[in-house]
């Protein structure tokens, strides 16, 4: 999809998609650049956002639209085609670590991935979980 085509699609989309696009594009591009060179990262993000726009009515009807959109980005970047590093516990843990390394907060990572902020915080800081003494 060319940038001009992407702009044309966005002009036809509802304002909520425009807001989604504005909110997530920079994070999507940062994540893609962590896995691809700049040109490939830009193409991957444009492709992912084009697919998201095409399926927008379905995506926003789901319980966690940002999570579905995030999975589209991840699929487009190919970031999970190789085994995850041994120090990650799940694909979400890997994604959270990459975004955190890029300077994003747990709240921002939660917004991008469609995950609860507490979940992201626990993935980023597994040793800070509170332990309650049952006595």
**Residue 133 covered by a domain:** no
In a domain, 135, yes or no: no
At 4 the pLDDT is 60
pTM of the predicted structure, to 2 decimals: 0.82
Query: Would 7 be classed as within a structural domain?
Result: yes
Residue 107 forms part of a structural domain? yes
Cα–Cα distances in angstroms (integers) from residue 109 to residues 25, 49, 73, 96, 104, in the given order: 13, 18, 14, 6, 6
Its domain, for residue 52, covers 3-128
Question: Is 134 within the bounds of a domain?
Answer: no
Mean pLDDT per segment of 10 residues, for the chain of length 135 residues?
56 86 96 95 96 95 96 93 81 94 96 96 79 47
Q: Is residue 82 part of a domain?
A: yes
pLDDT of residue 1: 56
CB-based contacts of 117, cutoff 8 Å, min separation 6? 106, 107, 110
Q: Can you give the pLDDT at residue 133?
A: 46
């Amino acid at each position: 999809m060319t940038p001009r085509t992407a702009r044309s699609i966005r002009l036809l989309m509802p304002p909520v998609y425009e807001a989604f696009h504005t909110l997530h594009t920079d994070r999507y591009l940062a994540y893609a650049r962590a896995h691809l060179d700049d040109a490939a990262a830009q193409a991957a993000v444009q492709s992912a956002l084009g697919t998201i726009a095409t399926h927008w009515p379905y995506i926003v009807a789901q319980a966690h639209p940002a999570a579905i959109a995030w999975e589209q980005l991840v699929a487009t970047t190919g970031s999970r085609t190789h085994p995850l590093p041994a120090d990650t516990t799940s694909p979400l843990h890997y994604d959270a670590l990459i975004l955190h390394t890029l300077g994003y907060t747990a709240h921002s990572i939660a917004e991008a991935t469609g995950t609860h902020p507490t979940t992201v915080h626990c993935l980023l800081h597994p040793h800070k979980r509170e332990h309650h003494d049952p006595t």
